[in-house]
Amino acid sequence: MSHYEGDLRAPDNARFAIIASRWNARITDALVAGARQSLAGNGIAEDAIDVVRVPGAWELPLVAARLAASGRHAAIIALGCVIRGDTRHYEHVADLCAEGLMRVQLDHRLPVLNGVLAVERVEDAEARAGGSHGNKGEEAALAALEMINLVEQLP
> Which amino acids are annotated as binding site for (2S)-2-hydroxy-3-oxobutyl phosphate, given as ranges?
86-87, 128
Show binding-site residues for 5-amino-6-(D-ribitylamino)uracil: 23, 57-59, 81-83, 114
Q: How far is CA 54 from the centre of its chain?
A: 13
Segment holding 17, helix H or strand E:
strand 16-21
The whole-angstrom separation of Cα 126 and Cα 42 is 25
Count of C-beta atoms within a 10 Å radius of residue 65:
18
Q: Spot the catalytic one: 89, 92, 108, 133.
A: 89
CB 137 within 8 A of CB 30: yes
The whole-angstrom separation of Cα 8 and Cα 24 is 30
Residue 89 annotated to the active site:
yes
Q: How far is CA 69 from the centre of its chain?
A: 17
Give me the active site residues, please: 89
